[in-house]
Amino acid sequence: MRILLAEDDPLLGDGLRAGLRQLGFQVDWVRDGEAAERELRAQPYAAAVLDLGLPLKDGMDVLTAVRRSGISLPVLVLTARDAVPDRIRGLDVGADDYVIKPVDLHELAARLRALVRRAHGEAQECLSAQDVVLDPAARSVRQAGESVALSTREFDLLHALMLNPDHVLSREQLEQRLYSWGQEVDSNAIEVHIHNLRRKLGTTLIQTVRGVGYILLRDAPKP
């Protein structure tokens, strides 16, 4: 899943970006509040990690502005401000979670997965559709109880579709969810990954809506 990281400390930001990428996230990193607000308004991120002490525009002001504009993506505040009034204010203006620095990378990843899962109305850790079960934490997929080996992109694409079952996603929407800044996207990349997923998981799970995009069916179509 693609997330925005807003952190001005170069060492911490670089470490978080590298670590989260190793755990399966696509990470865009900005270092000031104005850039954070601009990107949150422009890109469909799955979630954001927002430091409060950002230059140019304070993270609290960024959060207030994006919530007032109707942007509802999950926002995890990551900050050194540990006073209770600061935490209360952050939650009141729209933060979904609040973590005090320093933070364990695996805990941060788990909190992000939970936020995204809840934002899509999923209560369980694993996502399921038909006979396929996807575990975001383990980055594993099983079909009818058997493990299925997927490439990184195939897994990320299936994850994006399973977070939005029975909803059509266009190729452009899927590209925006799979690729971060600076990553080249072949014109037929999504089609190739869809083809591979159908070859490995069968043809009933993901359907093509001609001229629109792709839809993952939670329940198998009736014969």
Res 182: pLDDT: 61
CATH of 2-119, one of 3.10.450.50, 3.40.190.10, 3.40.50.2300, 3.30.565.10: 3.40.50.2300
**39-43, 130-134, 143-147: segment of lowest average pLDDT:** 39-43
Considering only CA atoms, which of 44, 32, 4, 42 is closest in space to residue 20?
4
pTM of the full predicted structure?
0.87
Residue with structure tokens 């850790």? 125
- pLDDT, tens digit, 9 for 90 and up, residues 56-98: 999 999 999 999 999 999 999 988 877 778 778 878 888 999 8
Rounded-to-integer distance, Cα 183 and Cα 129, Å = 29
Q: Residue 134: how many CA atoms within 13 Å on its side-chain side?
A: 23
> Please, is 145 exposed, middle or buried when counting C-beta atoms within 10 Å of its C-beta (0-12, 13-18, 19+)?
exposed
139: alpha, beta or left? (left if phi > 0; alpha if psi -120 to 50): left
User: In the structure, what pLDDT confidence band is assigned to residue 23 with cuts at 50, 70 and 90?
Assistant: very high
Query: Residue 99 in contact with residue 76, Cβ under 8 Å?
Result: yes
User: Right CATH number for 127-216 from 1.10.3470.10, 3.40.50.1980, 3.30.300.20, 1.10.10.10?
Assistant: 1.10.10.10
For residue 72, what pLDDT is reported? Answer: 92
Question: Are 2-119 and 127-216 in the same CATH fold?
Answer: no
> What residue spans define the domains of the chain?
2-119, 127-216
Whether the pLDDT of residue 213 is over 70: the answer is: yes
Nearest Cα to 105, choosing from 84, 127, 134, 76? 76
What's the gap between Cα 41 and its chain centre? 16
Listed residue (133, 124, 152, 139) closest to 201, CA to CA = 133
- Indicate the angle between helix axes 171-178 and 152-162, nearest 10 degrees: 120
Strand partners, 129: 132
**Of the ranges 115-129, 160-174, 178-192, which one carries the lowest mean pLDDT score?**
178-192
